Structure 1
Amino acid sequence: MKRCHLFLLVFSLFFISVNVKAENADSLYVATHYNESEYFIEMRDGVKLFTVVYTPKDESKTYPILMNRTCYNVDGTRNNKLRAPSDYLIRGGYILVYQDVRGRYMSGGTFDNMRPNIPGNDVKNKKDIDESSDTYDTIDWLIKNIKGNNGRVGIYGISYPGHYSAAALLDAHPALKASSPQAPISDFFFDDFHHQGAFLQSYMAAFPVFGYQKDSLTNKSWYGDKMMRLYKDRPADGYEFNLALGPLKNITEKYHYDNFFWNQVVEHPNYDEFWQKRSILPHLKDINPAVLTVGGWFDAEDLFGPINIYKTIQQNDPDAKSTIVMGPWTHGGWSRERGQQTINHIYFGDSISTFFQREMEKPFFDYYLKDEGKMTLPEAYMFDTGLKEWRKYDEWPPKDVAPITFSFGENGKLLMDEDSKAGAEFSYISDPAKPVPYRSEIEGLTFTPRLFMTDDQRHASYRPDVLTFKTDVLDKDVTIAGEILAQLVVSMTGTDADFVVKLIDVYPDDFPNYEHNPKNIIMGGYQQLVRHEVFRGRFRDSYSEPKPFEPGVPTNVTVPLQDVLHTFKKGHRIMIQIHSTWFPYIDRNPQKYVDNIYKANEEDFIKSEITIHGMSTVKAGGDLPTIEFLKKTD
């Protein structure tokens, strides 16, 4: 059993590592330059939140407050072992504040995933609470009670703490001058546990972290035994393990029967009021603090969040002090420097995280919280993942990069800005019993998947249930900058289906191998995943009111992919793949329409012949109507 608990600990630390650095800040420096204090700060409803404060020992000047609110246990910051922010900020002269959010670890109250926002909650005599009011009350207390502060506050955080940083923007305390939501969750129907309404079965092991209430104040995990239900057998092949589980209802019966968050997911399969009121996007209006939104182009967990938080702020408040940074990172990768920046098999450069911390993050907080330096950050600081270099833009998406329309030709030909043959049809048999693997390699049970974001797609190209289209060898560089919208015309023999659309960079056959890769990874002909998305077809007209397909009837299905900035180099090819299973990253659609897939039976899963009709297109680059499409439940 000790080995099992060690295994659990490793995975738990892997998950919360998005909120920490690979190496803790120099504890000796912190011990000699900071005083540590702890407080239980009372909120407007009487609940007290555990808060640790590090105050500079040099009392000859005042300092701004830099705060991190987390559901991942601030106790790890104790005894000078600061997990965040970067060393540049720790050594830069700040009062550092860490707080357990309501219902987590040493804080009182009840935890609520993506607690709904209550507009107008800045009035002190109100008793209703949300994450914005808890942040407001905390800032108000800190400004009045922590000596040596200069009256200005900043907040930052990665992943869930990134969500709390975004929530702080709503009805913000006047002292809050700067916020950096990093890999922030914005809406759980599109981030993390769902993509476009499809369930991410690969997140099955993460539910214990968020689905059990603690019964006392604690600095230890209270959900470990629940995680052991899954991890006790340590399956070597996650694909086989998940396939053997069968329908999702078996997960309920075997593992998550007492998990309140899992049961909420099961009982709310559509984008109903439960999910809609938990989205932060509709509330991002009248933003006063400066905002530095940060994300990774290869973040499998929260890519939707940063892109759509930034775009929503820009749409609602064009004059807001808002900057977006997107770099070649997985989830939270910018918080730690590994020297050589690689994502799975692909190398992107050296010291990229250090560049962000030193040249973007620190100047942002220094300027707005200390009046130091000049604000030279562009509106969009974006990394081109094909050229492997930073680009600055006055707006995002940029208007000076021409969009491209792809269509599908015979013999697997991908056409650029030309029409496909009238009446063309491309069909495949999708079988939920033999789903397309999402990895090119065998892996065990994942906590949350990450490495596949640049994975080689040759394994999928070989399958008959994957449509593969590619261009001729490019005779010049082709850059895609902005949104991607696949507008498919489909028909099927079943009554429901998922659609996975992938944009792929095909390397030349003579591309040299990278030194960091195992010898069996051949880069010549590598089909690098650049962007993907899944769409659950039942939601084609409304996320809140799904409906079946009529067999054999051509039907429009729009698949919004997330933004990219990627240059396909001369000598490469551009590829698009389309298929209907991607397992166990995405759960299996039965392909026979049922009201609730979480409660589907084994006999509901059927084969279906799916046809993509030739008038289908993929529009790539520019400012497409993605936000409007996502509002189709209004």
Structure 2
Amino acid sequence: MHFFTHQQTRRKSLHLTLGVLLCLFLALTTHRVAAQGPGVNKEDSIYVRENYTKIERMIPMRDGVKLFTAIYMPRSTSQKYPIMLDRTPYSVAPYGEDKYKTSLGPSMLFARDGYIIVYQDVRGRYMSEGDFVAVKPYMPNKKKTDVDESTDTYDTIDWLIKNIPNNNGRVGTWGISAPGFYTTMTTLDAHPALKAASPQAPVTDWYMGDDRHHNGAFFLMGTFAFLSSYGAPRPEPSPKGSPPFMAYGTPNAYEFYLNLGPIKNANEQIFKGKNAIWNEMMEHGNYDDFWQARTPVPHLKNIKPAVMTVGGWFDQEDLYGPLKTYAGIERNNPKSPNLLVMGPWIHGGWARSTGEALGNIRFDAKTAPFFRETIEFPFFNHYLKDKPDPQLPKAYIFETGSNQWKKYDQWPPKAAEEKKLYFHPNGKLSFDKPSAASTAFSEYLSDPNKPVPFTSEIRITRGSDFMYEDQRFAATRPDVLVFESDTLTEDVTISGNVMADLFVSTTGTDADFVVKLIDVYPDNAPNNSPIAGTKMGGFQLMVRGEVMRAKYRNSFSKPEAMKPGEVTEVKFDMQDAAHTFKKGHKLMVQVQSSWFPLVDRNPQKFVNIYQATEADFQKATHRVYFSPQQASNVTVRVVK
């Protein structure tokens, strides 16, 4: 009898009623809130109404399609104002010239200082005409009427400069998440009036590391929830967009997705083939031309506006985007300043919070207002209003652990030296390379029917808490390997890229490998959590965690099966970090092969996972090796 048979007998019918639409709506709301900035403030709302006039226009593009645009203009005509533009797929609501947003701009600092602030529904979304294409590819060799997000921005800016009174001829762009992607696209073939742009948590590569996939592994939970509405058809322009049309029927995501079974069931049982973006995901499992065309990074050349890319170290959606956008521009020696800001924030947290803490972790400062007041606002004011140069560093980086802002003239900093954290027998971890040992590997049984959960919480939407949650719940499982250092006798600070380099074998023909770099607090750590009653002794803070689908170890475009029992190197990017492991703490690395339902289950058999059946899922034993010749490690950049 196949081991999944008992699972089939306990399948629950997916009674997806309309009774709990809020669950799905929350997934989309996360993006909208990020784009809109801080919450409602009565004083701000009154200021906007008393000091701004709102008009709505359908701005024509070069191919005749018109895009719905809401324009907020200062009532005072005593001076000329720069324009701030935000292009979004998440609605410019509220609609109607008598209905006003409760706050304007990246922050109300802009509205109070005097800016023309413009919001636009991108092509094919909400009230704009045309057909929507998610992360639409940039077209480098355009004909006269060819359009992409770059041309739509160019045409919009051109119209605004020529038609909106009292503008000073300068434009800035900003946006968070998908609007961050559209902001990046404004810098390609930029209109001459565009002087400054700030892509913030920009969607940059939906396959390699943002939102939908990481290193070839499908991010099931966030993608399913988000695309349930985002990918639904929009028959005609509408202020309502495409609302969610189903609900979960349970508060437990682990149960919901396990009962759903193989990914193909989502389409057969729920989407019924009608969700265009979901269909694209299922049809392009590898990093093919479809995905490669959708990242702007290869095109970030000859960038003329000043660019300030912003991200958060605890961003649950788009940590990859800001790091790769900044690096992509930097590689090509931009003609204007190219800056990076990374703070201790979740997705969009710099725009809508104080940034003092996340969960149990304190940062000892109001980091988000600091960013808005000291970094973001002066940056735009300098380039759009000729205000004094704020003398911002190349990289303005918040270092967690030490809880300090650091200024660097490059990222990663010159003083960071590459060092390897090696795995050793008996669960040891150190910067010393392993010597000959009788036991050269550790192994665990990975069962797709009992995957390692991504959180200890019972929750239905992904949220962000897993990014800073105590990892002890995972460390106790038999299918999670744990390697821990001795107690640190001095601070260890890392700044820059983190890379996993594993030597592994499996009894299957494919596998996922999840690696987490963790800061282990001492048993006598002070109980200073913002959450009353929390004991911080022994807390395990995930500094960086990442997944790799092993069949893509040599190429994301051409997957290769693993050979059972053969030792194979699996090396992958875990993205960047800036963190101090303080004296008295320990470093830890956890290795596992599921992270459910954050990441879909790997059948551990070399198949097209998007077409896999129940019969394809199998148990497998994975080994991680740490001999001198097969020295598994996590590579970090240690500040001297």
Q: TM-score, normalised by structure 1?
A: 0.93
Aligned-residue offset at 1:301: 0.3
Deviates more, 1:32-41 or 1:344-353: 344-353
The residue aligned with 2:211 is 192
- Per-residue Cα deviation, 1:484-506 (whole angstroms, up to 9, x for no partner): 11111111110000110110000
Which amino acid in the other structure matches residue 610 of structure 1? H
2-structure distance, mates of 1:317, 1:308: 15
Structure 2: gaps (5+ residues): 1-16
2-structure distance, mates of 1:353, 1:537: 38
1:508 to 516, 522, 529: 522
Aligned-residue offset at 1:45: 0.4
Alignment of 1:533 with 2:546, yes or no, is yes
Paired residues for 1:341-352 under 5 Å: 341-352=356-367
Aligned-residue offset at 1:511: 1.1
Aligned-residue offset at 1:245: 1.3
Q: 1:80 to 1:583 in 2, by over 3 A?
A: closer
Aligned-residue offset at 1:522: 2.4
> Is contact 2:493-2:578 (8 Å) kept?
yes
The residue aligned with 1:34 is 52
2:331 to 296, 315, 325: 315
The residue matched to 2:281 in structure 1 has which SS? Answer: helix
- Per-residue Cα deviation, 1:23-44 (whole angstroms, up to 9, x for no partner): 2361211122111111000000
Alignment of 1:202 with 2:221, yes or no, is yes
Paired residues for 1:104-115 under 5 Å: 104-115=125-136
The residue aligned with 2:9 is none
Which amino acid in the other structure matches residue 621 of structure 2? E
* CA root-mean-square deviation: 1.7
> Is contact 1:425-1:611 (8 Å) kept?
yes
Aligned-residue offset at 1:547: 0.9
The residue aligned with 1:559 is 572
Which amino acid in the other structure matches residue 307 of structure 2? V
Aligned-residue offset at 1:559: 1.6
Which amino acid in the other structure matches residue 288 of structure 2? D
- Per-residue Cα deviation, 1:13-72 (whole angstroms, up to 9, x for no partner): 334211122323612111221111110000000000000111111111111110000001
The residue matched to 1:620 in structure 2 has which SS? Answer: strand
> Is contact 1:407-1:420 (8 Å) kept?
no
Alignment of 1:173 with 2:185, yes or no, is no
> Is contact 1:119-1:171 (8 Å) kept?
no
1-structure distance, mates of 2:93, 2:483: 51
1:449 to 440, 458, 463: 463
> Is contact 2:104-2:110 (8 Å) kept?
no
Aligned-residue offset at 1:5: 4.5
The residue aligned with 2:599 is 586
The residue aligned with 1:96 is 117
Paired residues for 1:201-240 under 5 Å: 201-203=220-222, 204-225=224-245, 228=246, 230-231=247-248, 233=249, 235-240=250-255
Aligned-residue offset at 1:242: 1.2
The residue matched to 1:302 in structure 2 has which SS? Answer: coil
The residue matched to 1:140 in structure 2 has which SS? Answer: helix
Structure 1: gaps (5+ residues): 624-634
- Per-residue Cα deviation, 1:524-562 (whole angstroms, up to 9, x for no partner): 100111101100000011101001001111111112101
The residue aligned with 1:52 is 70
Aligned-residue offset at 1:7: 5.1
The residue aligned with 1:401 is 416
Aligned-residue offset at 1:344: 2.2
Deviates more, 1:312-321 or 1:26-35: 312-321
Which amino acid in the other structure matches residue 477 of structure 1? D
Which amino acid in the other structure matches residue 476 of structure 1? E
> Is contact 2:24-2:228 (8 Å) kept?
no
> Is contact 2:301-2:334 (8 Å) kept?
no
The residue matched to 2:420 in structure 1 has which SS? Answer: strand
- Per-residue Cα deviation, 1:498-525 (whole angstroms, up to 9, x for no partner): 1101100000101122352153x42110
The residue matched to 1:350 in structure 2 has which SS? Answer: coil
2-structure distance, mates of 1:11, 1:276: 26
The residue aligned with 2:352 is 336
Alignment of 1:599 with 2:632, yes or no, is no
Alignment of 1:117 with 2:138, yes or no, is yes
The residue aligned with 1:631 is none
Which amino acid in the other structure matches residue 507 of structure 1? Y
The residue matched to 1:452 in structure 2 has which SS? Answer: helix
- Per-residue Cα deviation, 1:467-498 (whole angstroms, up to 9, x for no partner): 10011000000001100111111111100001
Q: 1:591 to 1:2 in 2, by over 3 A?
A: closer
Q: 1:319 to 1:36 in 2, by over 3 A?
A: closer
Aligned-residue offset at 1:8: 5.1
The residue matched to 1:253 in structure 2 has which SS? Answer: helix
Q: 1:371 to 1:524 in 2, by over 3 A?
A: same
The residue matched to 2:350 in structure 1 has which SS? Answer: helix
Aligned-residue offset at 1:82: 3.2
Aligned-residue offset at 1:193: 0.8
2-structure distance, mates of 1:9, 1:410: 47
Q: 1:308 to 1:197 in 2, by over 3 A?
A: same
2-structure distance, mates of 1:72, 1:128: 24
Aligned-residue offset at 1:601: 0.8
Q: 1:600 to 1:155 in 2, by over 3 A?
A: same
2-structure distance, mates of 1:480, 1:322: 23
> Is contact 1:64-1:369 (8 Å) kept?
yes
1-structure distance, mates of 2:38, 2:329: 31
Aligned-residue offset at 1:210: 2.3
Paired residues for 1:205-284 under 5 Å: 205-225=225-245, 228=246, 230-231=247-248, 233=249, 235-257=250-272, 258-284=274-300
Deviates more, 1:13-22 or 1:28-37: 13-22
Aligned-residue offset at 1:401: 2.6
Q: 1:562 to 1:256 in 2, by over 3 A?
A: same
Which amino acid in the other structure matches residue 537 of structure 2? G
The residue aligned with 2:563 is 550
> Is contact 1:113-1:210 (8 Å) kept?
no
Which amino acid in the other structure matches residue 132 of structure 2? F
2:584 to 538, 553, 571: 571
1-structure distance, mates of 2:126, 2:311: 27
Q: 1:193 to 1:172 in 2, by over 3 A?
A: same
> Is contact 2:91-2:239 (8 Å) kept?
yes
The residue matched to 1:74 in structure 2 has which SS? Answer: coil
Aligned-residue offset at 1:3: 5.6
Which amino acid in the other structure matches residue 215 of structure 2? Q
2-structure distance, mates of 1:59, 1:386: 49
The residue aligned with 1:612 is 624
The residue matched to 1:255 in structure 2 has which SS? Answer: helix
2-structure distance, mates of 1:401, 1:215: 53
The residue aligned with 1:74 is 92
Which amino acid in the other structure matches residue 173 of structure 1? H
Which amino acid in the other structure matches residue 271 of structure 2? H
Q: TM-score, normalised by structure 2?
A: 0.92
1-structure distance, mates of 2:418, 2:177: 31
> Is contact 1:314-1:320 (8 Å) kept?
no
Q: 1:535 to 1:80 in 2, by over 3 A?
A: closer
Which amino acid in the other structure matches residue 198 of structure 1? A
The residue matched to 1:469 in structure 2 has which SS? Answer: strand
2-structure distance, mates of 1:157, 1:529: 28
Q: 1:577 to 1:28 in 2, by over 3 A?
A: same
1-structure distance, mates of 2:576, 2:529: 30
- Per-residue Cα deviation, 1:327-372 (whole angstroms, up to 9, x for no partner): 000000000134x622222121332111000000001000011110
- Per-residue Cα deviation, 1:577-618 (whole angstroms, up to 9, x for no partner): 111111111101000111x10110111111111111111121
Aligned-residue offset at 1:622: 6.8
Q: 1:262 to 1:23 in 2, by over 3 A?
A: same
Aligned pair count? Answer: 610
- Per-residue Cα deviation, 1:85-138 (whole angstroms, up to 9, x for no partner): 2011121211100000000001000100110101155xxx71111000000000
Q: 1:111 to 1:38 in 2, by over 3 A?
A: same
The residue matched to 2:100 in structure 1 has which SS? Answer: helix
Which amino acid in the other structure matches residue 210 of structure 1? Y
Aligned-residue offset at 1:441: 2.3
> Is contact 1:181-1:292 (8 Å) kept?
yes
